[in-house]
Structure formats: C-alpha cells, structure tokens
Amino acid sequence: MVYDVSFVRFYFFTSTMWAGGALGNAFNFYEIMGIIFVGNALLGIYALQSLAYVASQTGLNTVLLGRYSFGQKGSKLADVILGFTQIGWYAWGTATIALILVKLLELPESWTMPLMVLFGFGFCITASIGYKALEMLSKFSVPAMLFFIGLTFYKGLVDVGGIGELIDQTAAGGMSVVAAITLVFGTFVSGGTQATNWSRFAKTGKIAVISTLVAFFIGNGLMVFIGAFGVLIYQQADIVDVLVAQGFMLVAVLMLFVNIWTTQDNTIYNFAASRL
C-alpha cells in the first residue's frame, strides 16, 4: 500500500514520549504496559470503526466526511479545529528541532531563530513534491527510527542490569489509572481523527483497518513506551536525550531529524487536506 509506511510514521510523534514519561514516573512496568494497551485500543477502536473503514469505502478525507455528518456550514467548525491543531503541531515541531539542535551541537543561541525559519520552509519541500515523496521519506525514516529505538533499548537494558531490573523499578505514583488512560488517548486523538487522510487510499476495508491498528499499537504505543522506558532508567522521556545520555550523539542528531522531519511533512499534508 502507498500509504501504509507513511501512516505508521505519522504516529512516531515526539510529544507522545512525554506522555509516556509521565506514566514512567507514576506506575510500575506492568501497569504501564496495561495502560498503553487500553489507551491505544480505545484510540484504535475510535479510528478503526468510525473513520478508517468508512474512508476506505468512500475515498473521502476527514473534512469531506465531516460535510456529510455536519453539513456544509457545520463542518467548517471541525475544519477550523483540526486545521488549527496541525498548525500548532507544525510550529511546535519547527521550534523543537531548532532548539534541540542548538543545544546538542552547542551552537550560539542567535542561531535558533534562523534555524526555525530554515526548517519551517525546509519541511515544506518534501510535502510540496507530493505524496510519493512523503512515502519515500517514510520508507527510509521508519526503519531508521526502529533501528535507533532498538539500539537505545538494548543499551538501556544493559545499563539497568537486564529486563528483571527494569521490571523491578518503582514509581512515585500520584496519577490515577483513568487519568493515565486519558493521557494516552489524548496524545493522538486529533491525529486519529485525521486517519481518513491516509486510509482513504486503502484498496480494501480490511487493509485500512489493519494498517490503522498497526499504526496505533506500533507507532503511538511504542512512542509512549519509549517515554516511560527513558524515565524509568535515565529520568529522560525524550529518546534524543536518552541517546545523548547513552553516548550516542550522532545517532541522537539523526533521530531528531528523521523523527521531526517526517512528522512535519505529514502534519502539513493534514493541514492542506483540511483546506479542501
């Protein structure tokens, strides 16, 4: 499928790791795994049954489906809200890569604003070429990030003394299970709402459902777990900070670029689709 890799890639979102970091501070290993499963199952049910399958059968994106649900005028509110969230994500991602890059490479702070402008326009290049360019970028970025994640998991387990020691890590508590599930669900409910922008390309409803399920449990679920994993061992939720703590500076920079760049491309694609 054309959209499969890019769709999974959209769910490798940096801020989701921070939600996982909150879980790492409040729950033990088994509780975290249960919360991640339930939260992403709810996200999956919402996106699978309500959106992905319908989009695959109609070929319509989120905004166009909204016009059938709320009418020509009523759908404008949903259009504005979804478009606004994408603009916010794009601004956050652009600022994040500039700030972290300046910090990692110890560049002068005066470079921050020019880098924001540079990346703000640079992210648009791939998206402006078209969906094929996003697909090609995602086919490179997803395997690269999975490799980097595997590397940090391995090093983390070595540092902590094995899986048994990781499971025995204690948490401070202070968050209810309901609040934690809500946090996991809320990390990507807006993105899940726009699952139709990809699943409409599916050849069959079955492919749409399976791809969306994989995206949530492998993409979003893995990012939540990464945040919790980092906090449990290094007291750092962001994998870039974890890689730096592990001594993998070059890998950290590469992870920063492939993570943010491909998320930004999908974000601008969503915003463009919401303007149809």
Residue 89 in domain:
no
CA–CA gap between residue 87 and residue 81 (Å, rounded): 10
Q: Which helix (H) or strand (E) holds 115?
A: helix 112-129
Residues ≥6 apart with Cβ < 8 Å to 46: 189, 192
Residue 95 in domain:
no
| Number of domains, the chain | 1
Residue 60 in domain:
yes
Residue 82 in domain:
no
* Spatial CA neighbour of 141 closest among 8, 230, 49, 275: 8
What is the domain range of residue 195?
A: 4-77+141-259
**pLDDT, position 12:** 56
Residue 234 C-beta-side C-alpha neighbours within 13 Å = 23
Residue 218 in domain:
yes
Residue 88 in domain:
no
Q: Which residues of 168-182 are buried (b: 16+ CB within 10 A; e: fewer)?
A: ebebeeebeeeebbe
**pLDDT, position 3:** 44
**pLDDT, position 154:** 93
Residue 133 in domain:
no
| Residue type (1 letter), 79 | D
What does the pLDDT profile of the chain (276 residues) look like in tens digits? Answer: 444 444 445 555 566 777 888 888 888 888 899 998 888 888 777 666 567 778 888 877 777 777 777 777 777 777 777 777 777 778 888 888 888 889 888 899 899 999 999 988 888 777 777 666 667 777 787 788 889 889 999 999 999 888 888 888 777 777 888 888 888 887 777 666 777 777 777 777 777 777 777 777 777 788 888 888 998 888 888 888 899 889 898 888 888 888 888 777 777 766 665 555
Residue 17 in domain:
yes
CA–CA gap between residue 170 and residue 89 (Å, rounded): 33
Helices (H), 11-111: 14-26, 29-47, 53-58, 62-104
Q: Residue 245 maps to which CATH number?
A: 1.10.4160.10
